[in-house]
Structure formats: structure tokens, C-alpha cells
Amino acid sequence: MSERQSSERQSSEQGSDEQGGFAVVPELSDRNRHFWQGGAKGELVFLRCQDCGSYLHPPIPICPHDQSKNVQPEAVSGRATVATYTINHHPWLPGFETPYVVAIVEIAEQTGLRLTTNLINCPLEDIHSGMAVQAVFHHIEDPNGDVWLPLFEPVPEPAPVTGTP
């Protein structure tokens, strides 16, 4: 396999699926629409308690910490770290070229706020727990409402600092 095949998912991240191609599409509801459609604006969006500031995932209507119903969608930075990962070799589903990387990432804004996702644009041998990643969105057109899956790719390493300003 080439590095490219193995590290990109469906060769179409940040693009859109061809109409009618196989996909697993989240079933949209009033409770989750902000999450799955936030990517339309390039945003990773979670429900957040407006009283205590906790992000709530999966989305729930009442904050479990203070029982506030004042929970609103709010964008986060999209920065995250890889909590753990697996390089999957098994063809569970069509449309997933193996191997592909499933990861659990921890969102920068809150300890323990995690997503299961795919790591893309990353050579397999470079993947490690703790690596810094950022969200990119995979657009799926669907007659029931388009969705944008948040996938993650490595944050480019900052250029080495040389000299003094």
C-alpha cells in the first residue's frame, strides 16, 4: 500500500462524497444537528452549559453538573490530542480503504471530552498517542441533510526557531 492510500480516507477529505457512494451517515436530529453540520462552517461544535461551562458530549438536554437547561452549541478550536488509536486492516465496510486509522482524540478545551474519529494525512509510522491534531471536515451529501464528519490530521510542526527576533 502506498502511504497516500493508507493515510487518506476516501481521498476526499474536505471535499464531498460522490452522490450515491457508500457512506455511513449519522441520523440527524434536533439534538445532534449542531455537531454534524458544524463542519459546513468549518467548526467543531459541542453543546456547552452556559452556566458552568462544561462541554457535554454526546449531547444531552440538561447539564448533569448543575442541572441547567441553558445548554447551547458552541464552537471549539478543533485542536485535540490523540488519546489512543488503532490501525484497522479489516474491511468492515465498503468505502473504507484499508488500512485506515481509527482514533480517540481528546478535545483541547476539556479533559475527558473525546471523539472517536479517523486520523488522516499522517504516515502510519508517525502515529502515536499524545500527538497534536486538528479537525478537518469530510462532507457527505445526503438527501436527509448533509453532514460533515470531523476527522483529524496532524498539526504541522512549528518551524524551528532560529536566532533571535
Partner 1 sequence: MAPSVRTGARTGTGYGDAVTTGRNRAERSCAISGIGQSDVGRRLGRDPLELTLDACYGAIADAGLVPSAINGLSTYPGGMTGSKGFTGASAYEVIDAMRLEVDWFDSGIETSGQLGSVMKACMAVAAGMADHVLCFRSVWEGSAQGSGGRSSLTPGGGRNSRIYAGGFEQWWLPFGSAAPPVWFALYAQAHMDRYGTTADQLAQIALNARRNASRNPKAIYRDPMSLEDYYNSRLITTPLRLFDCDVPCDGATAVVVSRRELAADLAQPPIYIEAMGAAMHDRSNWDQLKDLARTVGADAAEQMWARTSLTPADVDVAQIYDGFSYLTMLWLEALQLCPVGESGPFVEGGTRIALDGVLPLNTAGGQLSAGRLHGYGFLHEACVQLRGEGGERQVAADPQVAVVAAGGGNTCGCLLLTTVAEV
User: Which residue's CB is nearer to partner 1, number 150 or number 154?
Assistant: 150
43 versus 152: smaller Cβ distance to partner 1: 152
**Residue 18: DSSP 8-state:** P
Q: How far is the CB of 104 from partner 1 (least distance, A)?
A: 5
**Contact partners, residue 77, CB within 8 Å, separation at least 6:** 44, 108, 109
162, three cell numbers: 532560529
Smallest separation, CB 144 to partner 1 (Å): 7
Cβ at position 67, least distance to partner 1 in Å:
14
Angle at 53 between CA 55 and CA 131, to 5 degrees: 50
Backbone φ and ψ for 84, nearest 5 degrees, come out as: -165, 170
Residue among 21 and 53 whose Cβ is closer to partner 1 = 21
In the complex, the residues that contact partner 1 under the rule CB under 8 A are 20-27, 29, 32, 57-58, 83-96, 100, 102-104, 112, 114-118, 129, 142, 144, 147, 149, 151
> What is the DSSP-derived secondary structure letter of residue 3?
H
